[in-house]
Chain A
Amino acid sequence: MISMNQDSATPTPPARSLPGRVFDFFSGFGLATTLLLLLGVLTWLATLEQVDRGLYDTLNKYFDWKAWYLFPEIDGRTFYFPLPGGYWVCALLLLNLALGGVGRARKGWKHAGVLISHFGILIMLVSGGVTQHFSERGHLAVGEGETSDTAEDYFEHVVEVAEIKGGKPTAIHEIRGEWLIDLQGDKRRLFRLPNFPFDLELTRYLPNAMPVAATERAPEANEPVVDGYFLMSRPGEKNAEANTAACYARLKNRDGSTPGPFILAGASFQPFTVRQDGRVFTVDLKKRLWPMPFKVRLEKFTAEFHPGTNRPKSFVSEITRIEDGKEARSIISMNAPMRYEGLTFFQASYGPPGATAGQKLYSVFEVVKNPGDQWPKYSLYIVSFGLGLHFLLKLIFFFSARSRYEHRA
Chain B
Amino acid sequence: MKRPALLLFMALGLLVSCREKPAEVTITETRPLTTKDTTPKLDATSDQRFRDAKPSPVQGETPVGWLKLPATQMRLLNYRFGESGLGEVWVSVSSGSVLDNVNRWFGQFDVEKLDAAGLAKLRRVPMAGMDGVWVEAEGDYAGGMGAPARTGYGLAGVVAIDPHGRILTVKMVGPKAEVAATKSVLEAFARDLRFTE
Q: Do A150 and B35 have beta carbons less than 8 Å apart?
A: yes
Contacts of A191 in B (CB 8 A): 24-27
Q: Do B36 and A289 have beta carbons less than 8 Å apart?
A: yes
Contacts of B23 in A (CB 8 A): 188-190
| A66-B16, A270-B48, A273-B42 given; A174·B35 CB < 8 A | no
How many residue pairs at the A-B interface have CB separations less than 8 Å? 138
B37 part of interface (Cβ distance < 8 Å): yes
B112 part of interface (Cβ distance < 8 Å): no
Q: Do B50 and A164 have beta carbons less than 8 Å apart?
A: no
Quick one: which of A24, A152, A173, A282 contacts B27, CB cutoff 8 A? A173
| A172 CA to B16 CA, complexed, in Å | 32
| A53 CA to B1 CA, complexed, in Å | 38
| A170 CA to B34 CA, complexed, in Å | 11
Chain A residues within 8 Å of chain B by Cβ, number: 60
Interface residues of B in 50-89 (CB under 8 A from A): 50-52, 67-70
B164 part of interface (Cβ distance < 8 Å): no
A176 part of interface (Cβ distance < 8 Å): yes
| A189-B25, A193-B27, A282-B42 given; A170·B33 CB < 8 A | yes
Residue of B37, B40, B45 ringed by the most chain A CB atoms within 10 A: B40
A313 part of interface (Cβ distance < 8 Å): no
Q: Do B34 and A291 have beta carbons less than 8 Å apart?
A: yes
**Least distance between B60 CB and chain A CB atoms (Å):** 17
**Least distance between A117 CB and chain B CB atoms (Å):** 26
B121 part of interface (Cβ distance < 8 Å): no
Interface size range of chain B in the complex: 35 or more
| A213 CA to B155 CA, complexed, in Å | 25
A278 part of interface (Cβ distance < 8 Å): no
A167 part of interface (Cβ distance < 8 Å): yes
B123 part of interface (Cβ distance < 8 Å): no
0/1 per residue, A142-184, Cβ < 8 Å to B? Answer: 0000011110100000000100100111111111100100100
B39 part of interface (Cβ distance < 8 Å): yes
Interface of A is mostly: strand
| A388 CA to B26 CA, complexed, in Å | 56
**Least distance between A42 CB and chain B CB atoms (Å):** 17
**Least distance between A260 CB and chain B CB atoms (Å):** 12
Q: Do B40 and A169 have beta carbons less than 8 Å apart?
A: yes
| A192 CA to B23 CA, complexed, in Å | 11
Q: Do A168 and B35 have beta carbons less than 8 Å apart?
A: no
A269 part of interface (Cβ distance < 8 Å): yes
| A25-B4, A189-B23, A215-B67 given; A270·B28 CB < 8 A | no
| A172-B37, A289-B36 given; A179·B44 CB < 8 A | no
Which chain B residue lies CB-closest to A91?
B12
Interface residues of B in 1-18 (CB under 8 A from A): 1-2, 4-5, 9, 13, 16
Quick one: which of A22, A226, A289 contacts B31, CB cutoff 8 A? A289
Q: Do A21 and B69 have beta carbons less than 8 Å apart?
A: no
| A199 CA to B187 CA, complexed, in Å | 51
A185 part of interface (Cβ distance < 8 Å): no
**Least distance between A224 CB and chain B CB atoms (Å):** 13
Q: Do B69 and A213 have beta carbons less than 8 Å apart?
A: yes
| A320 CA to B39 CA, complexed, in Å | 26
Interface residues of A in 110-149 (CB under 8 A from B): 147-149
Contacts of A226 in B (CB 8 A): 46
18 of the cross-chain contacts (CB-CB < 8 Å) are A26-B5, A148-B35, A164-B40, A170-B33, A174-B27, A174-B29, A176-B29, A189-B22, A189-B23, A191-B24, A191-B26, A191-B27, A194-B26, A211-B46, A211-B49, A227-B45, A265-B50, A270-B40
Please list the 4 inter-chain residue pairs (A to B) with the smallest Cβ-Cβ separation, ordered nearest first: A270-B44, A150-B34, A211-B50, A269-B52
Other than the given A195-B28, A229-B46, A280-B42, 15 more pairs (CB < 8 A) read A25-B1, A25-B5, A148-B36, A149-B34, A164-B40, A168-B39, A169-B37, A179-B21, A179-B25, A190-B24, A269-B48, A270-B52, A273-B42, A273-B43, A289-B37
